[in-house]
């Protein structure tokens, strides 16, 4: 079997390393359990393949040339890789080694993603995780394009190419500046209370899922709030509220963001567990490591 684009074999490399380490063709042949003439022919063919002399032959034995000493380092590296390749391949096939590219939303990084990382570290230490923060629609595009293997998204995909699993639920809660009137009601605010103030909400194109949730929540209460901003990311919504530009409905997991001027409140007339997070992957994926992760989380 040829190695790379150069016409030499692994057997020739093993013979070369043995002669270099033993300093003698006869002792190297004994070590390799072969006779000396075939070993000498192997080395000659190897020298023709690489285009330079590998040894200085003397009456006392053989000493690597300066070029041979450099080639010895490369030969050892190639042989080590060849020896460990089957083990690495078996680990990849079993899902205990390899790479998983994961897309995630900012808020999911505080909940589900952290749990996935911990499970992978404990049960799949040979698997590398490559993480990319993306909004939901960008993750779905990346999955279909083969740029990531699994995503943490807010809406169930509408594609026969993708499979999904519900991995978490949140409730909608209120984020408000610390000195906002809604924080001083001495009771749990209602949707009617919230509608009296400026509401920071979500982009209908970049954050369609949350935009629809918030609109539906106010419509079901027969209310029309004053929307003052339309923003694509939950953590950016929180930053704007923290700056005092309004209040917002956010998933309860977002309360893990600790901003100095931010208060989180339950809303009395909103049902719980309306915010969903789904793990999504291609049905036709061929990544054993992903299968192992999905079986562990």
Does this model's pTM top 0.75?
Answer: no
Among 200, 211, 173, CA closest to 189:
173
Q: What percent of the chain has pLDDT over 70?
A: 93
Please give the mean pLDDT across all residues of the chain: 89
Among the residue ranges 15-19, 83-87, 193-197, 204-208, the one predicted with the least confidence is 83-87
Measure the CA–CA gap between 16 and 280, rounded to whole angstroms: 51
Query: Are 244 and 209 within 8 A, CB to CB?
Result: no
Q: What is the mean pLDDT of residues 30-43?
A: 89
Placement of tokens 């460990």 in the chain: 84
Measure the CA–CA gap between 210 and 194, rounded to whole angstroms: 17
DSSP structural state of residue 252: G
Does the structural domain 2-93 have CATH classification 3.30.360.10? no
Query: Are 209 and 156 within 8 A, CB to CB?
Result: no
Among the residue ranges 28-37, 245-254, 273-282, the one predicted with the least confidence is 28-37
Element (H, E) at 157: none
DSSP codes of every residue in 47-71: HHHHTS--EEEETTEEEE-HHHHHH
The answer to whether the 2-93 and 97-169+277-294 domains have the same CATH topology is no
Instruction: Give pLDDT tens digits for 78-94.
Output: 888 777 666 555 655 55
What per-residue string of b and e applies to 165-199 under the rule 16 or more CB within 10 Å gives b? eebbebbbbbbbbeebebeeeeeebbbebbeebeb
At residue 147, φ and ψ (nearest 5 deg) are: -85, -20
End-to-end CA distance of the chain: 42
Q: What is the mean pLDDT of residues 22-39?
A: 89
Confidence category of residue 132, pLDDT binned at 50, 70, 90: very high
Q: Is the pLDDT of residue 3 over 50?
A: no
Out of 2.130.10.10, 3.40.470.10, 3.40.190.10, 3.20.20.80, the CATH code matching 172-271 is 3.40.190.10
- Report the range out of 68-82, 91-105, 108-122, 216-230 with the highest average pLDDT: 216-230
Placement of tokens 């789904």 in the chain: 278
Q: What is residue 87's predicted lDDT score, i.e. its pLDDT?
A: 55
Q: What is residue 4's predicted lDDT score, i.e. its pLDDT?
A: 42
Q: Is the pLDDT of residue 277 over 50?
A: yes
Q: What is residue 8's predicted lDDT score, i.e. its pLDDT?
A: 80
- Report the range out of 9-18, 101-110, 161-170 with the highest average pLDDT: 161-170
Architecture of 97-169+277-294 per CATH? 3-Layer(aba) Sandwich (3.40)
Q: What is the mean pLDDT of residues 51-71?
A: 89
Measure the CA–CA gap between 155 and 137, rounded to whole angstroms: 9
At residue 270, φ and ψ (nearest 5 deg) are: -100, 130
Look up residue 287 and give its two tokens.
Answer: 């990544």
Confidence category of residue 7, pLDDT binned at 50, 70, 90: confident
Measure the CA–CA gap between 249 and 185, rounded to whole angstroms: 17
Query: Residue ranges per domain, the chain?
Result: 2-93, 97-169+277-294, 172-271
Query: Are 47 and 54 within 8 A, CB to CB?
Result: yes
Instruction: Give pLDDT tens digits for 207-259.
Output: 899 999 999 999 999 999 999 999 989 999 999 999 999 999 999 999 998 89
């Amino acid at each position: 079997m040829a190695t790379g684009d150069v016409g030499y074999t692994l057997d020739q490399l093993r013979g070369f390393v043995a002669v270099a380490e033993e300093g003698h063709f006869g002792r190297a042949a004994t070590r390799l359990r072969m006779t000396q003439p075939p070993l000498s022919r192997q080395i000659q063919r190897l020298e023709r393949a690489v285009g330079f002399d590998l040894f200085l032959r003397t009456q006392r034995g053989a000493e690597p040339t300066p070029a041979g000493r450099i080639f010895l380092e490369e030969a050892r590296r190639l042989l080590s890789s060849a020896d460990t390749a089957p083990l690495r391949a078996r680990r990849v096939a079993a899902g205990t080694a390899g790479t998983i590219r994961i897309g995630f939303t900012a808020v999911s990084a505080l909940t589900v993603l952290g749990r996935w990382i911990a499970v992978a570290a404990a049960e799949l230490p040979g698997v590398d995780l490559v993480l990319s923060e993306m909004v939901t629609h960008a993750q779905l595009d990346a999955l279909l394009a083969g740029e990531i293997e699994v995503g943490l998204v807010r809406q169930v995909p509408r594609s026969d190419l993708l499979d999904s699993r519900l991995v978490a639920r949140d409730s909608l809660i209120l984020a408000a500046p610390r000195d906002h009137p809604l924080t001083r009601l001495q009771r749990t605010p209602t949707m009617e209370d919230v509608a009296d103030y400026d509401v920071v909400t979500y982009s209908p194109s970049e954050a369609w899922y949350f935009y629809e949730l918030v609109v539906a929540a106010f419509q079901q209460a027969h209310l029309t709030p004053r929307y003052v901003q339309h923003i694509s990311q939950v953590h950016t919504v929180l930053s704007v509220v923290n700056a005092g530009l309004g209040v917002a409905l956010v998933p309860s997991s977002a309360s893990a963001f600790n901003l100095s001027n931010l208060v989180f409140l339950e809303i009395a007339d909103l049902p719980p567990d309306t915010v969903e997070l789904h793990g999504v992957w291609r049905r036709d994926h061929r990544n054993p490591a992903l299968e192992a992760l999905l079986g562990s989380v």
